[in-house]
Structure 1
Amino acid sequence: MKEASRAQLAEIKNANAATLQVNVGERRSLVESPTEEKILNTLIKLSKTISPKICSLVGHGEKSFSDTENNGYSSIKAELERQAYTITDLNLVQAGKIPADCNAVVILGPVKALFEQELKILKDYLNSGGRALISIDLLLKSKGGTETSPELVSLLQEWGIQPENALIIDSVSRALNLEPTIPIAPTFSKNHPITSAMEGNVIAPLSRPLTISKTPPANVLIEAIASTTPNAWGEKNMKSIEAGEVKFDNGTDIRGPMVVAAAIQGKKAGASAETRMVVFATSYFAANQFARFDKNTDLFANSLSWVVGDDNLISIRPKEEGGGLIQLSQKAGVAIFLTTVIVIPLL
């Protein structure tokens, strides 16, 4: 009876389960049946000064955080919700604006054109200090590559990023039994908070090269945060890809290394706040099919943390114990078994 009273006083719901109280300053939380991952997740949530609201653009065939299939983003959604993010759909045609409580807009590989009014809303939002994470794909269809969203390409060009009309081919991918259209990005910027502590690889299926302008807008900084090795190149001949006869053509193709992720920050003239944006060369790298491969989830989640201004928590993301089976494309016909080890940094 005495123990039951103590449990009730401590707000413990299940007196038969081990429960740990975690305190950060004046904030506290109870962790039932504690594991290293549960404790670290709780520490992160208690340490947060904000609970960011993420608005995911819909209406153009984008990948969905609710989709549990291979090309869905439900795995990433679960990870973000563990970090106290709230994710909601945003239909700009219906809403007519980006809500004031939206901490960042996420655009996951649209396959249909944006309406002119939608593009204007996005441009005005970013020009006035908005935050965004944008993945832009190049569709492979018969007779050549197809631009998924030329309007979005033009928006990125205004910020100093050129998504090339080419597909990255990587000869190094063969070492991991991957197709050359699934490039490996082992090079991370050590000068940017998103990737400064990152070691390992990101795989970036069906990526298009991102070219960073040598003359970006005034007061805007752009940094390549993830790149391939010099063995990769940007293939412009889509027919050769379909025929499986790719080779680097000097003077036509784009010589590597290739940028697959870039971070943008700065204030445009007249803006009252700093814009932060991360651009990915493909939306497939963080889809369920590939999200658990090495650093793929880290790159996406770290990028979102930086975009919303949650910089201090970038380097302490929890990892699941054990391994995971990653089913790659049917065409690749391979699976990779990954083993991860939990490392809890000093807090």
Structure 2
Amino acid sequence: PVKVWVFDVAQNSQDRELLENYQKQNSNFKFEYVDPQARPGLTEKFGVKDYGEVYLESGKKRQLVQVINVNDRLSEIRLTNSLQQITSTSTAKVYFLQGHGERSLSPGEGAISQAVQALGNKSYTTAQLNLVEKSTVPSDANVVVVAGPKRELFTTEVKALQTYLNQGGNLVLMIDQGTDPKLDSLLKEWGVKLDNRLAVDVSGNVALGPAVPIVTDYGEHPITKDFGNGISFYRLARPVDTTPIPGIEATKLLLTKPYPNTWAESDLNSENLEFNQGKDLKGPLTLGVALKRKLPAATKATPTPSKPSASESRMVVLGDSDFATDGSFTQQLNGDVFLNSVSWASQQDSQPLSIRPKEPKNRRINLSASQAGILALSSLLILPLIGFAVAVILWWLRR
């Protein structure tokens, strides 16, 4: 059982309708509006400081969802994330590899701070990982994310990641075109090869340009199962090739449009984009794959409270990291591709893998005094006169 406490005098109809919809889905969901001044004991219990504070309570656990006001209404995203956090019995740990020019976790140009924040909203704990300082991946790691390394990893770091995978670990690799992090030996074991050519899309999208392939075709996989024909885009991406390997199940996730709309360009210095037979690769191109491999019984990792015993290793390989950077992350399905990849790779199968709910847009019209006067005049005088005139004409014709 969970209960939402809204500490406010006014009851907004939009907020109340949202809460009633939650209640219709599950009878264990309750909500109540409270006047902070009328119930000072309850107000003190929750530590309410201002009108509009919304709290979620489950057993002995309480947490602030948000503060609502005239401009900021109750958010379905925040409420759902809070429900997920307060009812979760375990917290998954996501480590981001650092030290090779990877995307920064703090706000800044080319950072992935929005992606990190979104993981926090889904009850994930995030931390940085430097495998030069630590020779092994921490035992509490549910998944390790390698987001856009610009420099090569040391051999010892690659071996640490391989050992982690062999013991039931999980990786999300986002490797940009034009970089070589020296992960070939690890990827070869899984039948994956990163193509050095640039994926181009000449289908005519002026806003994004030919170096930003648009994807609307997705593989049948838990990561992308609810995407339909939704849009995601990948700036300066590279194709990802796969070769069948016994014991490894590989699924193509992101597929570009077929040739002649897309191809992998080998001549990156030419200003005229044209397909060259024998050098370039015809579309559709694969920009992302999901892989999993069963573990032998003897190599299964020792379970911990935060990381149950794994029976398989999982890996997601994406030929781009720009799609998850601040700004791009919130566009179309880009954020969903990243979040679902991490959720699936971390083997948190109880986590919902789907499209995040979108916030309703403010569609109110702000009229000036003169516009409001014209609208009132037309509705109260002009339109009735037109209707009266039409009625007189019809009467005259029938007479």
TM-score class normalised by the smaller sequence: 0.7 to 0.9
Residue number in structure 1 paired with 2:249: 221
1:266-315 CA-to-partner distances (Å, cap 9, x unmatched) read 12555423101111111111111421220000000011011112233222
SS in structure 2 opposite 1:239? coil
Relative distance call for 1:204 and 1:2 in structure 2 (3 A) is: closer
CA RMSD of aligned residues (A): 2.2
Query: C-alpha distance in 2, partners of 1:196/1:175?
Result: 26
CA distance 1:205–1:232, change in 2 (3 Å): same
Decide which structure has greater strand share: 1
Residues 13-28 of structure 1 correspond to what in structure 2 (within 5 A)? 13-14=48-49, 16-21=51-56, 23=58
CA drift of 1:176 comes to: 4.8
CA contact (8 A) 1:22 1:42 kept: no
What is the CA–CA distance in structure 1 between the aligned matches of 2:156 and 2:107, rounded to whole Å? 27
- Counterpart position of 1:332: none
Q: For residues 64-213 of structure 1, what are the structure 2 equivalents within 5 Å?
A: 64-69=104-109, 71-139=110-178, 147-149=179-181, 151-172=182-203, 174-189=204-219, 191-199=220-228, 200-213=230-243
Answer yes or no: is 1:310 the counterpart of 2:348.
yes
- Name whichever of 94-103 and 49-58 sits farther off: 49-58
Query: 2 CA distance for matches of 1:29 and 1:77?
Result: 20
Identity of aligned residues (%): 33
Residue number in structure 1 paired with 2:332: 294
Q: Is the 8 A contact 2:170 2:345 kept in 1?
A: yes
* Aligned-residue offset at 1:30: 4.7
1:42 and 1:128, CA in 2 relative to 1: closer, same or farther beyond 3 A?
Answer: same
Partner Cα distance (1:6, 1:265) in 2 = 50
Structure 1's 31 and 152: CA in aligned 2 closer, same or farther, altered over 3 A? same
Distance 2:79 2:155 in 1: 46
Runs of 4 or more above 4 Å deviation: 25-30
Work out which of the residue numbers 259, 270, 286 in structure 1 matches 2:286: 259
What amino acid is the match of 1:285? Answer: F
CA spacing shift, 1:113–1:5, aligned 2, 3 Å: same
Aligned to 2:84: 44
Q: Which blocks of at least 5 consecutive residues in structure 1 are unaligned?
A: 140-146, 324-347
SS in 2 for 1:40: helix
Instruction: Please name the residue that 2:315 is paired with.
Output: 277
User: SS in structure 2 opposite 1:197?
Assistant: coil
Confirm or deny: 8 A CA contact 1:219 1:268 kept in the other structure.
no
Task: Provide the TM-score with structure 2 as the length reference.
Answer: 0.71
Report the CA distance shift for 1:66/1:320 in structure 2 as closer, same or farther (over 3 A): farther
Query: C-alpha separation between the residues in 2 aligned to 1:48 and 1:238?
Result: 48
Structure 1 residues 252 and 4: alpha-carbon distance in aligned structure 2, compared to 1, 3 A threshold? same
Structure 2 CA distance, aligned partners of 1:212 and 1:105? 21
TM-score, normalised with respect to structure 1:
0.81
SS in 1 for 2:102: coil
- Separation (CA, whole Å) in 2 of partners of 1:12 and 1:258: 54
**Which string of whole-angstrom CA distances, capped at 9 and with x for unpartnered residues, describes residues 51-82 of structure 1?**
2111111111111111422x111111121111
1:22 touches 1:30 (CA, 8 Å); kept in 2? no
Deviation at 1:19, TM superposition (A): 3.0
Distance 1:80 1:234, change over 3 A: same
Instruction: Point out the structure with max Rg over C-alpha.
Output: 2
SS at match of 1:264: strand
For 2:82 and 2:355, locate their aligned partners in 1 and report how far apart those are by CA, in whole Å: 12
Structure number with higher relative contact order (C-alpha < 8 Å, ≥ 6 residues apart)? 1
**SS in structure 2 at match of 1:79:** helix
Query: Structure 2: which 5+ residue stretches go unaligned?
Result: 1-36, 68-73, 301-310, 363-399
